[in-house]
Amino acid sequence: METKVILYGASGHCKVLIDILNLLGIPIEQIVDDNPAVGSVVGIPVVLSKEFTKQDNLIFAIGDNFIRRKLSKKTNATYFNLIHPKTTISPFSTIEKGTVVMAGAIINTDSKIGVHCIINSGALIEHDCIIGDYVHISPKVALAGNVIVGEGTQIGLGALVIQGIKIGKWSTIGAGAIILKDVPDYAVVVGNPGRIIKYNDVIQDE
């Protein structure tokens, strides 16, 4: 990509994206954030969102799934995918715009990844998985074949999901959880085997 990119969000997640962009030789035009207290990220100046107007080649550098969704609904921008060079991605898989794939991630054949997702370091997504929009697959997560993950769900560090499982939208899977059966919408699941301990608030469209 020759055009400079814009990162929206001045967080720790932003620092990781900067590393990937540097590896790929992609220049950064600016970093945008809503917090006036954040002046720069690794020496790159941050401008307030109300001060920027150009919205070409933008990517959300924000770990929170709900905030990425909220901003995407109100931001009229063109997005791109940011994929670390040390990944393994099947040519028969599909990745929608605005998604980030971190170092060491593996996405196998016929898997489908939605918009504005985060596939974090060392995550494994096996064949025929379907990952909804705004999902975050944390580092070292392993999804066996034919797993479906609903919109906005967070799967925590090192969690394992057996084949054929369906995980509902806006659910939270705790770090290290072992998922052996389907998970309903908004459920918070922890442990081995995974058990529901509570439910997240229902997401309301604004």
Of 13, 116, 127, 136, the catalytic one is 127
Q: How far apart are CA 195 and CA 148, in angstroms?
A: 18
Q: How far apart are CA 169 and CA 138, in angstroms?
A: 16
The token pair that represents 157 in the structure block = 């560090």
Residue 136 falls in the annotated catalytic set: no
The secondary structure of the chain as a DSSP string is: --S-EEEE--SHHHHHHHHHHHHHTPPEEEEEES-TT--EETTEEEEEGGG----SSEEE----HHHHHHHHHH----B--EE-SS-EE-TT-EE-TT-EE-TT-EE-TT-EE-TT-EE-TT-EE-TT-EE-TT-EE-TT-EE-TT-EE-TT-EE-TT-EE-TT-EE-TT-EE-TT-EE-S-B-TTEEEETTTTEEEEEPPPP---
Residue labelled with tokens 């063109």: 78
Catalytic residues: 127
